[in-house]
Structure 1
Amino acid sequence: MTNPVPKHLILVCCHAIYLGGPSNGLHEEEWLIASFQSGETATFTQHAQAGLNLLSNDPSGLLIFSGSKTRKEVQKSEAQSYLDLCLHNDFWGLLDNCTQKEEIVRERIALEEQALDSFGNLIFSTMLFWKRTGQWPAKITIVSHEFKRERFLDLHVGAMRWPRGKVEYLGIDPVYMTEGSREWDGERTQAVRKGEKERGLGVWERDRFGTGQFLRGKRRERNHWQVGQMLFGSEEERLRSQVRSEIIEYEDGLREEVLKDERQPWEMDL
């Protein structure tokens, strides 16, 4: 039986790099993380598991792990590391109800390895979905932190001009942000939410496409391996997609392709 063409983009936003090890990701030392991410690797695993759950329950799903090569210590993408985590744990049995598991992995899980920030996760993964299927997703489900919900749904989705009714969000926060849990840390939770408001949501509110000096500077700092930031591999591909975009060459030498704030092909059926 021929597998149906995917219609549902299941986007798992990656946040760190799993290196491998005897505990298959249970121990934090098997990850490359930022200092402020201490205690969060279990949450990253939950994000991957949530994506697999969605995939196993939707024959029309295409699961995309999204995240570039963001650490100078290793030339490995966040996306590849999440897939490695899944493979090392035999997908935690979450795909056991699927026939032909190897075919599922080959045809219905993809790696997006260009994104250097949250808007990039959404943009590059949507472009990859189109490149893989030849059509735009009928539905997008974003899996990330709950405290980033407003950033994605109110800012990124709007800036992309994606139909709001075609997007769902599955937010999973670190356990220390769950009031009533043994790990609850009110002070740290407050600091995280304040940081998101000031350095995440607040910055993106002022710079919806992320082309300002601060946000592009963050991408530059993360791009240790000079991963290209073009949306398409050729002009022919871009024209075929009908996406309205432009290439910006900044004075600091950074070169990126960004969406224009104009009607996009995924709006055409509205």
Structure 2
Amino acid sequence: MNNYPFGSNSPKSFNAYPRGDFDIESGTIRRTKKSRNSSFFLVRMIKSLANRLHYCYKLHPFLVFFVSLAFGVTILIVLSLYEHRYRMLRNYGKLDDGFGNYYPYAKLKNLVMVAGHSVYTSSTCGKVDKEDSWFLESYQKNPGQAATFLRHIKEGVENSARDDAALLLFSGGETRKDAGPRSEAQSYWTVAESKGWFGKEESVKWRALTEEHARDSFENLLFSVCRFRELTGTYPQNITVVSYDFKEERFANLHRSAIGFPESRFFYTGTPASSTSKEGALKGEASVRAQFQQDPYGCIGTLKKKKVGRDPFHRSIPYPNGCPEIEGLFRYCGTAPYQGTLPWA
């Protein structure tokens, strides 16, 4: 007698039911679905997409070319913007990351900037409130003019004395050829020193410094922000500007807006012009303000020529080397507001 195994190949083996799971209650067979290979399916999708693109290219070659080119350029622009933003924020984030000891004023958070208007030319400091001790332009030769400079210096010192976290900067370059290679900023610092810092020497002197390259009011603000970064390793949380009261609109609106600094963190201390120069000062200010409205960054036309004229010793400006995060702002020249990323925005 032959013994046959009852395996799948046995002549006696048979399938009583079709392959699958038999449901006894319903009497139906549930077919087992074969799982798709996901990687194989993805390859087929890519091939299908490639075939469709190839077909479209044959029908409309120029259209496909320009669409592809536009898509590629868009991707490059987006990647470039994100890369620039990432690099800037990474650098900015590292300002206080282990480098605080390298910045002599790292603990100071706010900026008080006094805008310079003249160069002190006297060989002594005994007549700081006299006009003949200062180099004055024709429109500045008015009784009481020197006293207004002294008032600005005092206001800057007193503002700083009220804020222990403030860095005081006198701003102004070597703007007058006949005054010699002496800066407005250094002149103001020297006068403050001669006045004993108006009784605030111990509190203020150690954190009172200069920015000696600005040639106009916009540069007074922008350069001082960069100088603050050089000295502290970061950018000011708050800014206070000290100048004439009739220049408030120029500084607090035009210049502040041009650098994109928040209005809620910007403050202005204005002092009056001398009584004999007020009328002429207001007329001159209206003219300059109109020029900055047309040229917010002072980089074209009349404002640019004025800056060139205020650089008689052809000084090289070091900025923005000390504030690389806002290099784009320094390079920008246009009538519309700067659209780049700013650390304080």
TM-score, length basis structure 2: 0.64
Match of 2:201 among 91, 95, 98: 95
Separation (CA, whole Å) in 2 of partners of 1:109 and 1:266 = 23
Give the 3 Å change call, closer, same or farther, for CA 34–261 of structure 1 in structure 2.
Answer: farther
1:244 aligns with: 328
Q: What's the CA shift string for 1:82-119, capped at 9, x where partnerless?
A: 111111222232336x3xxxxx524x111101100000
Alignment partner, residue 78 of structure 1: 184
Match of 2:133 in 1: 30
Query: Which residue of structure 1 aligns with residue 162 of structure 2?
Result: 57
Tell me the alpha carbon deviations over residues 113-135 of structure 1, each in whole angstroms, 9 at most, x when there is no partner: 11000000000000010111111
Q: Secondary structure at the match of 1:51?
A: helix
Letter in 1 for 2:340: E
**Residue of structure 1 in register with 2:110 after alignment:** 8
CA distance in 1, matches of 2:197, 2:329: 37
How far residue 196 of structure 1 moved from its aligned partner, in angstroms, is 1.0
Q: Give the secondary-structure state (helix, strand or coil) at the position aligned to 1:231.
A: coil
Partner of 1:62, secondary structure, is strand
Counterparts in 2 of 1:61 and 1:222: CA distance versus 1, 3 Å:
same
Aligned residue number for residue 280 of structure 2: 191
Aligned amino acid, residue 37 of structure 1: Q
Asked if 1:231 is matched to 2:319, the reply is: yes
**How many Å separate the matches in 1 of 2:130 and 2:157?**
21
1:43 Cα deviation after fit: 0.4
**Structure 1 unpaired stretches of 5+:** 99-103, 177-184, 251-258
| Identical counterparts, % of pairs | 30
Question: 1:228 is paired with a residue of what secondary structure?
Answer: coil
Greater C-alpha radius of gyration? 2
Alignment pair present for 1:212 and 2:300: yes
| Structure 1 pair 207–49 and aligned structure 2 pair: CA distance change class (3 A) | same
* 1:105 equivalent in alignment to 2:105: no
Aligned residues: 235
Answering whether residue 147 of structure 2 is matched by residue 42 of structure 1, we say yes
**SS of corresponding position for 1:43:** helix
CA distance in structure 2 between the aligned counterparts of 1:36 and 1:232, rounded to whole angstroms: 33
Amino acid at match of 2:129: L
Per the alignment, residue 118 of structure 1 pairs with: 217
Whether the aligned pair in 2 keeps the contact of 1:244 and 1:264 (CA below 8 Å) is no
Paired residues of 1:161 and 1:264 also in contact (CA < 8 A): yes
Runs of 5+ unmatched residues, structure 2: 1-103
Partners of 1:230 and 1:201 in 2: how far apart?
A: 27
Q: Is the 8 A contact 2:106 2:231 kept in 1?
A: no
The structure showing larger relative contact order (alpha-carbon pairs under 8 Å, at least 6 residues apart) is 1
2:231 paired residue number:
132
SS at match of 2:317: coil
Distance 2:174 2:330 in 1: 24
Q: Give the letter for the 2:174 counterpart.
A: K
- Shift of the 247–140 alpha-carbon distance from structure 1 to 2, 3 Å rule, reads closer
Counterpart residue identity of residue 6, structure 1: L
* 1:212-242: CA deviation from partner (whole Å, max 9, x where unpaired): 1211100001101112235223xxx554x35
Measured after TM superposition, the shift of residue 261 of structure 1 is: 3.8
> 1 CA distance for matches of 2:259 and 2:138?
31
What's the C-alpha RMSD, in Å, of the aligned pairs?
Answer: 2.2
Matched, 1:161 2:260: yes
Question: How far did 1:194 drift?
Answer: 1.9
Residue 154 of structure 1 deviates from its aligned partner by 1.3
Q: Which moved more, 1:19-28 or 1:82-91?
A: 19-28
**1:256 alignment counterpart:** none
Deviation at 1:26, TM superposition (A): 2.0
Letter in 1 for 2:286: K
Aligned to 2:174: 69
Give me the whole-angstrom Cα distance separating, in 1, the residues matched to 2:304 and 2:328.
20
Q: 1:13 to 1:238 in 2, by over 3 A?
A: closer
8 Å contact from structure 2 (residues 173, 184) kept in 1: yes
CA distance in 2, matches of 1:117, 1:75: 17
